[in-house]
Amino acid sequence: MMKKEVIEMAQVIGQPLKRQEDIRLIRGQGQYTDDIKLPGMLYAYILRSPYAHAKILSIDTTVAKTMPGVVAIFTGNDLKDEVGLIPTAWIPPDSDLHVPPHPALAYDTVRYQGDGVAVIIAESPYQAQDAAFKISVQYKPLPVVTDPRDAVQDQAPLVHSEIAHNIAFHWRAGDNLDDIFSQADVVVKQQFRQQRLIPSAMEPRCAVADYHGATGELTLWATTQNPHIHRLLMSGILGISEHKLRVIAIDVGGAFGSKISCYPDEVIVSWASQKLHRPVKWTETRQENFLVTTHGRDHVEEVELAGTRDGHIQAVRVKVYANMGAYLSTAAPGVPTILFGLIINGAYKIAHASSEVFGVLTHTTPVDAYRGAGRPEATFLIERMVDLYALAIQMDPLDVRKKNLIRPDEFPFTNPFGLEYDSGNYQATLDKALQIFNYEEFRRDQENLRKQGKYIGVGFSTYVEMCGLGPSEVAGAVGFQGGLWESATVRVHPTGKVSVFTGASPHGQGEETTFAQIVAEELGIPIEDIEVIHGDTAQIAMGWGTYGSRTTAVGGAAIHMANQKVIEKARKIAAHKLEVNEDDVVFDKGVFMVKGLPARSIQFQQVALDAYLAWNLPPGIEPALEGTAFYNPKNFTYPFGVHIAVVSVDTDTGDITLMRYIAVDDVGKIINPMIVEGQVHGGLVQGIGQALWEGAEFDNQGQLITGSFLDYTVPKARFFPRFETAHTETPSPHNPLGVKGVGETGAIASTPAIVNAVMDALRPFNIFDLPMPLTPHKVWNAIRQAQLSS
């Protein structure tokens, strides 16, 4: 057993240390996948369907094959019998889920604009593209459906002929609430559209595959959030044993969920490299990124809330048509079900809740996780409903929140779906936010400005989310086809320097530093002596990657456990050297000391050297010093907080100006406050983007009409005021570090805060709901309609 001891904080955890990974990144020495260049490397260009739904009649590659530099051209027919289908790895139980076959290249029918039909492999990327333009494909266009409500109708064209009504799955949770709703004082009904978003990581996806015929080994550099999951899935698709497959993702230029999936493109280059015995690279263009990298959200939600006249929420229920796109992407079915449907009561003590979700196939780009994945949709739903309910009973929305928030003495709190919220003090974050924001003063100003014809509004979002995804038993129970534990090895070198190997695969969030801080603190060594290694399946035996804000809560906890193993062994060696009983040795700030005799001590680094020299180790102790741990968390963690947005609406133009944004988050124990704040900022901009500017649109032929940064508004710096952020710290009891997770909070909380604020500003016009994004045109139109009808 590990000894319990109090290690005095060496003040590394909790410090805003500059990030270690930045040194290479600010020098332009990052190693992104597209930076990889191998001798003899070939370049792939994937020819994609211009139609959203069509039969492929013929593909003529005769001319293209003669083009300069062209090495090979493959079509779907070449691949279909040699590589497996692209898998779906989340099968929610009791959902009657049908996985439609997803070939790496379409060979019969294309099902969304961007579906690949051929790959051209040439000596240079320009040559591959030249040849692609010379391929002639004959299509027979077929009827298209893009809206999930249209797609379930009897006469709708089928995306996959074997899946009736295009319903890939039908999932329910919670009880029948008909009686409660029929007897309630107040019932509020609303339909929401969670519009489709395009993650738009700044780095387009890329894959470089290098097959060695002599060893049968395939190395794949890829833009992925989870190299080991990729290895597992790719080994099945390609039929290569895992130990012969190496997946590497060192620097990844943003992902936000869009780099979780296993994509056809990675499969194509891997197979091509096997075929051609040369390295093959494929780099996505931004246009392809818009078309084929997974999108996020896209729900039509019919929501009902039941409550009393005095502000007690009794029940909430939702029926969702979730647009899954043309195929079920890797984690997609889990998003609108497990990650959304089980937390629609939000931060409130609501006795009854139920969710019903139809996963619907349409002729659009497949969706998958996007920052927050399911929880932003759930938070939006309940936070907007709270405001609409407050309006219905003529109560202040803040008072409704105060009345229904789960109280600090009610934790651990079991929500109506059985999720157990770990710890929380929701009132404390609200109090802190209201210290920053003077609500009474705002309402006075609002009243005065209205008299002058100026419209400002405030919106609240009191949220809770689940993250720190694990434990593995729960993963299994909810149909995730993988584990959610995490691995760590802390390898101490003879000089006392340390390499940390983590199975989590950070991609910009700063965990090289966060993890180094945990090791520096616990082993009492300089942070400069620690290197964190991730994103390479050859160096790390197993791991489950970074998504769902799990990295520090699960991966960090694994490192903590590995540290304890190192200390345990080092203490034995130190005790032997100090010639005392192991129990008489204390470890503090990197020094092993004899209890009560601080002068008799030995440095951690000396113990490390002794462990390697092995000249004089205690009996039964093996040489070397390292610890490996596999941490399977007890449960999810539940960050929470309060966000307040203040906006003004220009009624002449419909323009919305963000005046203030206050975010008070509780993400459990904070290891690096600078990194935590940065994560909040990034999330805010994406969540506010959804409320005000972002939205993917397809026309009725399934053409993506927001297919570039010219048509799809990714927010810019000038759209924002300075963010006002603050924190409370309620440790999670679920992991030894007390951390919860921060990566998604901003994106989860901010969207409803903004929409609530705009609706508050527009109340004098009797405008109570508008679909996102709240573009000037939409807002202006609504105001004009209101003015005309009054």
3-class DSSP state for residue 587? strand
Nearest approach, Cβ of residue 508 and another protein (Å): 3
Based on the shown chain and the rule CB under 8 A, indicate whether residue 40 belongs to the binding site for another protein. no
Based on the shown chain and the rule CB under 8 A, indicate whether residue 265 belongs to the binding site for another protein. no
Name the residue nearer to another protein (CB basis): 130 or 377: 130
Residues 128-157 within binding reach of another protein (CB under 8 A): 130
Burial class (CB in 10 A: 0-12, 13-18, 19+), 472: middle
Nearest approach, Cβ of residue 487 and another protein (Å): 23
Based on the shown chain and the rule CB under 8 A, indicate whether residue 204 belongs to the binding site for another protein. yes
Classify strands 498-502 and 313-325 as parallel, antiparallel or unpaired: unpaired
Q: Are 329 and 312 in contact (CB under 8 A)?
A: no
Q: What's the one-letter identity of residue 178?
A: D
- By CB under 8 A, name the one of 714, 766, 781, 787 that touches another protein: 714
- By CB under 8 A, name the one of 147, 210, 251, 368 that touches another protein: 251
Based on the shown chain and the rule CB under 8 A, indicate whether residue 63 belongs to the binding site for another protein. no
- By CB under 8 A, name the one of 89, 675, 692, 774 that touches another protein: 675
Q: Are 665 and 639 in contact (CB under 8 A)?
A: yes
Minimal CA–CA distance to 484: which of 542, 535, 536, 544? 544
Give dist(CA 504, CA 523) in Å, integer. Answer: 21
Nearest approach, Cβ of residue 783 and another protein (Å): 27
Based on the shown chain and the rule CB under 8 A, indicate whether residue 32 belongs to the binding site for another protein. yes
Name the residue nearer to another protein (CB basis): 18 or 784: 18
Name the residue nearer to another protein (CB basis): 35 or 150: 35
Token digits for 119?
A: 């790959």
Nearest approach, Cβ of residue 70 and another protein (Å): 11
Based on the shown chain and the rule CB under 8 A, indicate whether residue 285 belongs to the binding site for another protein. yes
Nearest approach, Cβ of residue 681 and another protein (Å): 3
Nearest approach, Cβ of residue 594 and another protein (Å): 42
Select from 29-37, 84-92, 151-159, 578-586 the region that touches another protein (CB under 8 A).
29-37
**Phi–psi pair at 132, nearest 5 degrees:** -60, -35
Based on the shown chain and the rule CB under 8 A, indicate whether residue 534 belongs to the binding site for another protein. no
Classify strands 280-283 and 498-502 as parallel, antiparallel or unpaired: unpaired
Nearest approach, Cβ of residue 18 and another protein (Å): 6
Token digits for 737?
A: 């570090």
Q: What's the one-letter identity of residue 607?
A: V
Q: How many CB atoms lie within 10 A of CB 408?
A: 14
Q: Report DSSP letters for 60-93, one per residue.
A: E-HHHHTSTTEEEEEEHHHHTTTS-PPP--B--T
Token digits for 741?
A: 């997770």
Based on the shown chain and the rule CB under 8 A, indicate whether residue 252 belongs to the binding site for another protein. yes
Based on the shown chain and the rule CB under 8 A, indicate whether residue 68 belongs to the binding site for another protein. yes
* Residues contacting 625, CB < 8 A, separation 6+: 492, 566, 569, 570, 573, 607, 608, 611, 612
Half-sphere exposure of 549 (CA within 13 A, CB side): 28
Nearest approach, Cβ of residue 721 and another protein (Å): 9
Residues 458-497 within binding reach of another protein (CB under 8 A): none
3-class DSSP state for residue 324? strand
Buried b (16+ CB within 10 A) or exposed e, 350-389: bebbbbbbbbbbbbbbbbbbbbbbbbbbbbbbbbbbbbbb
Based on the shown chain and the rule CB under 8 A, indicate whether residue 678 belongs to the binding site for another protein. yes
Based on the shown chain and the rule CB under 8 A, indicate whether residue 722 belongs to the binding site for another protein. yes
Name the residue nearer to another protein (CB basis): 86 or 664: 664
Q: Are 14 and 514 in contact (CB under 8 A)?
A: no
Nearest approach, Cβ of residue 722 and another protein (Å): 7
Rg (CA), the chain: 28
3-class DSSP state for residue 219? strand
Based on the shown chain and the rule CB under 8 A, indicate whether residue 709 belongs to the binding site for another protein. yes
- By CB under 8 A, name the one of 7, 10, 25, 538 that touches another protein: 25
Based on the shown chain and the rule CB under 8 A, indicate whether residue 126 belongs to the binding site for another protein. yes
Based on the shown chain and the rule CB under 8 A, indicate whether residue 34 belongs to the binding site for another protein. yes
Token digits for 440?
A: 């009474």
Name the residue nearer to another protein (CB basis): 28 or 453: 28
Select from 251-259, 297-305, 411-419, 769-777 the region that touches another protein (CB under 8 A).
251-259
Based on the shown chain and the rule CB under 8 A, indicate whether residue 523 belongs to the binding site for another protein. no
Name the residue nearer to another protein (CB basis): 1 or 710: 710
* Residues contacting 662, CB < 8 A, separation 6+: 433, 436, 437, 643, 644, 645, 724, 725, 726
Name the residue nearer to another protein (CB basis): 246 or 371: 371
- By CB under 8 A, name the one of 435, 657, 708, 787 that touches another protein: 708
- By CB under 8 A, name the one of 52, 67, 260, 306 that touches another protein: 67
Select from 23-31, 309-317, 489-497, 627-635 the region that touches another protein (CB under 8 A).
23-31
Name the residue nearer to another protein (CB basis): 147 or 677: 677
**Phi–psi pair at 361, nearest 5 degrees:** -90, 135
Nearest approach, Cβ of residue 34 and another protein (Å): 7
Cα–Cα distances in angstroms (integers) from residue 785 to residues 327, 539, 760, 762, 789, in the given order: 40, 62, 17, 12, 6
Total chain residues near another protein (CB under 8 A): 63
Based on the shown chain and the rule CB under 8 A, indicate whether residue 30 belongs to the binding site for another protein. yes
Based on the shown chain and the rule CB under 8 A, indicate whether residue 218 belongs to the binding site for another protein. no
Based on the shown chain and the rule CB under 8 A, indicate whether residue 684 belongs to the binding site for another protein. yes
Based on the shown chain and the rule CB under 8 A, indicate whether residue 18 belongs to the binding site for another protein. yes
Give dist(CA 648, CA 650) in Å, integer. Answer: 7
Looking at the chain, how many residues does it have? 790
Based on the shown chain and the rule CB under 8 A, indicate whether residue 227 belongs to the binding site for another protein. no
- By CB under 8 A, name the one of 304, 677, 694, 760 that touches another protein: 677
Nearest approach, Cβ of residue 358 and another protein (Å): 31
Q: Report DSSP letters for 115-183, one per residue.
A: -EEEEEEESSHHHHHHHHTT-EEEEEE------HHHHTSTTSPPSSTTSGGGEEEEEEEE---HHHHHH
Select from 72-80, 153-161, 248-256, 345-353 the region that touches another protein (CB under 8 A).
248-256
Beta-bridge partner residues of 367 = 295
- By CB under 8 A, name the one of 28, 39, 418, 619 that touches another protein: 28
Q: Are 300 and 358 in contact (CB under 8 A)?
A: no
Q: Which residues bind another protein (CB under 8 A)?
A: 18-19, 21-23, 25-30, 32, 34-35, 37, 67-68, 125-126, 130, 199-204, 251-256, 283, 285-287, 507-510, 674-675, 677-686, 708-710, 714, 716-718, 720, 722-723, 746
